[in-house]
Amino acid sequence: MRIALVHYHLRRGGVTSVLLHQARGLADAGDEVLIITGEASGEDPGIPVTVVEALSYDQNPEGESAAADTAGAALADALIAAMEARWGSTADIFHMHNPLIQKNSALLPALKILGKKGVPLLLQNHDLAEDFRPKVYVSREDYPENCHYAVINSRDYSFLLRAGLKPGGLHLLPNEVSPIQGVEGRERKRYLYPVRAIRRKNIGEALLISLFMPKGMTLTLTLPPTTGRDKTIYRYWVDLARELDLPVEFEAGLSSGIGELFGSAYGIITTSVKEGFGFSFLEPWTTGRGVIGRRIDYVCRDFEEGGIRFNSRTNGSVSQYSDLQIPMDYIAIPVFKRKLEQTITDIYRAFGLDLPDYPIKLLEQYFFSGETIDFGRLDEELQAGFIRIIASNETVFRELAALNPFLEGLADWRPDEELIETNRQHVGRIYGRERITGLLRSIYQSVRDTPVNQRISKSMLLELCLDSRHLFLVGVG
């Protein structure tokens, strides 16, 4: 098959890595692959690349719809020209990554034109803008109809089915997980959080956990963020760690390779409150390291269905927690309520919706019906205030440990080598290149052979995603 793999850019990052893995797997399987992008990386991926500059991020994504339609027609022509220059005709499959987020106002009009011209479309979504991400929500355009869609987790699959798509036109497509080669022989004195420290990675919670680590251990974060607001929040955490003399190391990935960092890691930690696929729950096993920290249920359930286990059955240690409970007595409840209500109000307004009564009522019932609250629900200001309390108050420190088995047992946590090896094998078998490429090619066959008549109800998708019970203040963006 002739496959066009398409994305706004090839800058280093998660979606780019996924696209390149797909491209190389398909090429190894004998398919003809062309990468079409708005911005090349300067590195040779070993796959033919065509740059269509009109595909890159908008400078003004809120432009007028009429202008977007005109730009869309021009973009569609440029994409067709790129394929024809390569093959003399359009591709057998046009596979676009993350098309439903507002990064290029001409894209959706262009995709609709390609669909009408008979180009077989597969639109793969790594993120849903409806999932508390109003800044990238496409408010004026309907999503393309009568084409195939793909998602990377079963929660999004369920949401899109309920929003109008059909099983024959919606595909669950996990990402390939490439093994990480750790450099062995190093002293293992780190709990490694291998992450770019953006807001939803919940860095404050990682700092809190560092207070419960065994003496001599360091919490190591690998990369700083690259965008404005995330940079400001990140500096806030760097300053707090210095103020409290926490055993935390920042930006280790700028001076050491990932193999060295994994090699010196005792365990891999994650405190993220929101993920699309969840590489952080799978990659560590490939390099012989266990994963501990905050569980994201909708992500981890997918992996558990494939045989991955997260808690040891032999040594009784607690490796995951779904929430980290702190006593309500130690946070300013009126301030927290005001922040929650203001956030949900701002989110609805940003989506162009009137705020009904029930989201606020759900917040009251779900967040304030007990004597504790999940630390991950707080914003950075409230998180930092509580960290200062436990860093200086032994009584509160012990109270928090008693409430949270993960924290209480962290000093005694030990890697379960049998579990690590079993999970390593499962990851290789289920998420390795051979299986994922085979699944991708099977989906392409469906796209070619199975016409679909379907559309997404944007209003229904918004209603499904905007469940205030799933609101994390650090997860909004």
Residue 18's contacts (CB-CB under 8 Å, 6 or more residues apart) are 97, 126, 175, 176
pLDDT 10s digits, 380-389: 999 999 999 9
What's the confidence (pLDDT) of residue 11? 86
Instruction: Give the DSSP H/E element, type plus range, for residue 335.
Output: helix 333-350
User: Residue 59 is encoded by which pair of tokens?
Assistant: 């400078």
Confidence of residue 228 (pLDDT cuts 50, 70, 90): confident
User: Which of the four pLDDT bands, split at 50, 70 and 90, describes residue 261?
Assistant: very high
| Tens digit of each residue's pLDDT (9 = 90 or more) over 338-359 | 999 999 999 999 999 988 888 8
Q: What pLDDT does 64 receive?
A: 60
In 3D space, the residue among 163, 120, 161 whose CA is nearest the CA of residue 6 turns out to be 120
Candidates 172, 169, 171, 108; CA nearest to 144 is 108
Report which of 41, 62, 52, 133 is spatially closest to residue 104, judged by C-alpha positions: 62
Mean pLDDT of 8-22: 92
Q: Which residues pair with 267 in a beta bridge?
A: 191
CA distances from 236 to 60, 288, 338 (A): 30, 33, 22
Closest CA to 457 of 42, 39, 159: 159
Q: What pLDDT, on a 0 to 100 scale, did the predictor assign at position 316? A: 63
Domains of the chain: 2-176+432-457 (3.40.50.2000), 190-324+379-430 (3.40.50.2000)
Kindly report, residue by residue over 66-108, the tens digit of the pLDDT: 788 899 999 999 999 999 999 999 999 999 999 999 999 999 9
Residue whose entry in the numeric block shows the structure tokens 């996990």: 174
Give tens-digit pLDDT for 160-204: 999 999 999 999 999 999 999 989 878 899 999 999 999 999 999
